[in-house]
Each structure stands twice: as structure tokens, then as C-alpha cells.
Amino acid sequence: MMLKSNLENLLDWSKSHGAYFENVEFAFDKDRGVYGILKHEVNLDEPLIIVPEALFITPEMATKVFGLDEPVEALSLLLLAKLKFDRKETLINGYSLSKMFEPYIAFLPNSCSEIGLPLFWTDREQELLKGTDAYPRLEQKRKELHKEWSSLMSLLDEHNKLDLVTKETTQGKGIVSWKSFEAYAWAHSIYCTRAFPNFLREQSERNLNIGFLCPIVDLLNHKNGEKVTWTCADNSFVFRASPKCIRRGEEVYNNYGDKSNTELLLNYGFVLDDNESETTALTLKVEEKVIEAGINFGLKLPLGASANGISFNISLATPLPNELLRFMGFLHQLKSEKNQYTLRMHLEGISKLRDILVSRIATFKTWKAEEHANTNKKVMELVKRYRSSQKSLFQRACQSCDSTEKSLIQKYKPLTLQRALKSDSEFEKCLTLIFGTNKVNEIEKKGLSDQVLLLFIVRCKNRELSRDSPLRFIRETYENVSTTIEITREDVVEYSDLYHSLFPYLSQKIPEVFAAGDYSAKSMIIAGTVVDRIVFKRNVNGELYLLQKIILD
């Protein structure tokens, strides 16, 4: 728990070393931690905070303390762990870093649990994140952190730097050795939540993971979209905020970079409601050969696509990425659509994608906070807000499926089955005689759409159609299928029951329609393939469409 006196000591210490923050006041609140408030309005471009470099904890210090020739990534974390947990002084050429940074180290949160990164939550708390993007990243992060600490220890051991012969864990009850993983984990949490990228002060720095600590500026909380500038000039860090965004008495925010809630949660331990930078991943699994075929087809797949999963990024700005839509369409390509991307594939892909999104949303909806009683209140609140922001993105993507589908239907105006039936009144009448209704929605409700579609398609083939009939494409598709189809025994078995449930009964009962032309079992099997090629069912309203082949680019 942060003590008020620790904050005061930190501020006095920084001022005595030349830090400037005349127009910012720092306050503490148990829910928000420390935060800055604007004391006086400032002019445009006037720095709000200036921190001289003497107050930075830098990677070069770590290289010197550990007597290495070259900088090593993450060595700064070990230096921080040493400053915090080593009771012996940490010196560079006799100069005591421990004494210099004592007020800063004393101010920092004392434990990983105080900092609150999910990586250091209990197993039960972490399990609350199951089903979100954050959960699989925790396991990966835990392994990486352990490996990083282990290799750092081995490296120092190899160079005979310090007495690192044994990897210590804890030194007796309550005392943490600075060489332990616990100490390293604490330093990791501090760097994760407070460090600035080292390239700000070292232009030659290529490694984006190397950071430095800059007291005082690190007391500011984050807001996405806040206009701030960070400059390293004249041996100081200069922080400016846009005076247009803040007024006297308001909070002075930093901007850690516009980040998604997954990044904020994992790296800073908080989330933002209505985060405009929110993203999530939809991971789909297909066999390697499908990925290869997709690439040959010209699909652009996200980096890292493999049989282990293809992760498509869904964001508020782009809830339905084009590559995801095309991939879904490709998965529903028929042999007759080889090397083509058709309207049917596109609509079918959107519809199947919607099913996947609906089931993802359902898993979020069935998760109940009440089933996880006795959980730390703060953690539970955070998990609820995070899960809700992930769910909203899937909902947004689902709404986008509906609006994309709607605009495609409006654009291409495909023939509905209802309209198609209307154009053949004789057949329409037969439906009432056979099934008791000629309304498509009732036919659909009774589970009779397959029979009606098959009969109608065969009817289109057997009947006279004018040259400009909107049904001509149905007959043409039938003729096309009949010249290429290879009927197998399985096809005959599959259609047998259905065929015998209709014939010869129909040809005897309504011979003027069902005895005129070819209503053989073979014609039904052909019509079955025609259904695959032209029929699309819109899930939102159950409407059935008969689609002409339209090739999209």
C-alpha cells in the first residue's frame, strides 16, 4: 500500500534534483492510485513536467553495475530487483545508486499483487479469463518471463559476475532475494507499467523492448487519444500535454499508446470502457492443405496462419476484415465455382461466419460472474469489464455480417423463392394441395423446403419458359449439372425415401403438372445439386433465395 509520505518524499527528492512540475499537483486515491491534476492553465507548448536525466534508471547503469561489456536486454530489470531487494548497496565506481534512488524505490508498489498484472493473479483468478484473448497469452508470457530470468542468471554466472553460483529463490520467510524469480517478476511488473522506450533518449537504440525509468512522468495515468508529447532534450525528459484537452483542476493524462483492452489488461492491469482501439482475434482452424489451396487461390491470410489456427483481427474500426470474409467465402466454394469468387460463396461465407460469431457471443453470455464467488472484487470487476468489451466486438462483427448481407441483397436483388413461385401459379396451387400451404415461411416451418425446391427446379426444367423468364437460369443450371453429374449409389440411396414419399403419388394426383415431363429419381438427384449451386438461405429472416451465378472480383 502506498504511503502518502512516500509520495511526498518522492516529489521532494525529484525537485531537489531539478525536476520541474510547477503546474501539476499529484494526488492519491485508493481506487485510482496516484494521478496528476492541472494546477494552473499553461500556454500552448509549455512543458508540464521536466525530469533531468540524473533521475533516470537506464540500461547503461545496469551494464555497468553487472560489469558487462555490452547491453543485455532485461538486465535493467535485474538492476531494479537489486535496488529493491538487495540489502547490500548497489554501486557504480563508488557512487551509490541505492542511496540515490531510495525515495523512488520506496515509492514504488511493493509487490506484484499490488501492481495487479493478470500474470501474477492466482490460478483461479486467471481462469476467469478463459475464452478471452488474454488467457492463452498468460501461459506464453509466464514461460517467456521465466526463460528470460533463467538465461540472464546463466549469462551472469558464465561471466563470473557476482556470486550467482546458485539460483536463489526466497531467503527465508518474507525476505525475497534480489536474484530470485519473485524479485525479477516484481521488476518486470514495474517496467511493464512504468518504463519508457529507450530509443527516446538513445537514437541508436534498435531494440524496442529496452526501456528506462523516468520518475514523476510515470505518475500519470493513461487515456487513449490524449495528445501528449515526450521529448528527450538538453539531458532531460520533457512532457507536454495539449492545453486544449485539459483545464485547471482536471486530471493530466499521459498516453501510453492507443492500446486494446487485451494489451492494457496484460501490461498495465486495467481496461477502458468504450475503448476505440479495442481489438480481438477470431481464430479459425483448417487443415494445412486448405491453407495452401487458399493461398493458391489468391487469399491474403494473416501472418502466422497455420494448421494450428488462423487469427483474424477484429477491431471496432474494421469489425469484418475483408480477408476474413474472403476466407469464409473460399471455404464454401463449390467445384463448379473453381477459380471463381461468386456472390453465392460470399453470402454463404458471411452466413457461416455469423454462426461462428453467434456461438462465440453465446459463450460470453453464458459466463456468469456469480458462479465465481469469493473472488477478489477488483479482479472480478476488471474481468467483467474486459469480457464485456470482447463480447461487444463479436456483437459488432455479427451486426456487420447482417448489414453486409443486407446491402448485397439490396445490390444484387436475387430472386426469392416466394417470388419465383408466384411466377408459376399452377405449381403454386399444387403446393396448397400437396402440403396444405403455398407460403414459403410456412413451408420452411414445416421442414418441407427441400421437397418444394427439388420439385420446383425439376418443374422449371420440364416446363415451357419464355426467353426472358426470370426462371431461365434455373433450367440452364439444371442442364449444366445434368451433363456433368456422375450419379453414385450413395446419391440414389440418399434420395430414395424422399422420392418415394412424392412419386408416383404426385403424378397420379396432379398429372397435369407431375406427369408432364421427366420427374424421375435421377431428375431429383440432379435438382439436389442445383439446390447446392443456387439456393441461399438468409439466417436473419429465413428467406430463401435462388441465385444466378454472379462472379465478384
Ligand X SMILES: C[S@@+](CC[C@H](N)C(=O)[O-])C[C@H]1O[C@@H](n2cnc3c(N)ncnc32)[C@H](O)[C@@H]1O
Give the residue with the Cβ less far from ligand X, 268 or 536: 268
Q: C-alpha cell of 217? A: 512522468
Q: Which residues pair with 170 in a beta bridge?
A: 176
- How many whole angstroms separate alpha carbon 207 and alpha carbon 502? 73
CB of 223 to ligand X, least distance (A): 6
Give the residue with the Cβ less far from ligand X, 117 or 324: 117
3-state secondary structure of 86: coil
Sequence letter at residue 485: I
- How many whole angstroms separate alpha carbon 224 and alpha carbon 272? 9
Give the residue with the Cβ less far from ligand X, 212 or 270: 270
Closest to 547 in 3D by CA, of 287, 377, 345: 345
How many angstroms separate the Cα of 263 from the Cα of each of 12, 89, 260, 268, 269?
33, 36, 5, 8, 9
104 class by beta-carbon count within 10 Å (0-12 exposed, 13-18 middle, 19+ buried):
buried
Q: Residue 504, preceding bond cis, omega within 30 degrees?
A: yes
CB neighbour burial string for 489-504, b if at least 16 within 10 angstroms, e if fewer: eebeeebeeebeebbe
- How many whole angstroms separate alpha carbon 493 and alpha carbon 216? 78
CB of 194 to ligand X, least distance (A): 4
CB of 269 to ligand X, least distance (A): 5
Closest to 418 in 3D by CA, of 441, 437, 435, 450: 441
Give the residue with the Cβ less far from ligand X, 222 or 461: 222
- How many whole angstroms separate alpha carbon 235 and alpha carbon 240? 16
CB of 103 to ligand X, least distance (A): 14
Give the residue with the Cβ less far from ligand X, 7 or 284: 7
Give the residue with the Cβ less far from ligand X, 213 or 506: 213
Give the residue with the Cβ less far from ligand X, 269 or 349: 269
CB of 11 to ligand X, least distance (A): 12
CB of 254 to ligand X, least distance (A): 7
CB of 370 to ligand X, least distance (A): 25
Give the residue with the Cβ less far from ligand X, 36 or 329: 36
CB of 272 to ligand X, least distance (A): 6
Cβ-proximal residue to ligand X, closest one:
33
* Gyration radius of the chain's alpha carbons: 34
CB of 385 to ligand X, least distance (A): 11
Helices (H), 86-215: 97-100, 102-107, 112-115, 123-127, 134-158, 181-194
- How many whole angstroms separate alpha carbon 116 and alpha carbon 380? 12
Say if CB 291 and CB 301 are below 8 A apart.
yes
CB of 202 to ligand X, least distance (A): 21
Give the residue with the Cβ less far from ligand X, 107 or 536: 107
Closest to 24 in 3D by CA, of 38, 44, 43: 38
Give the residue with the Cβ less far from ligand X, 56 or 268: 268
Residues near ligand X, by CB under 6 A: 33-35, 193-194, 218-222, 268-270
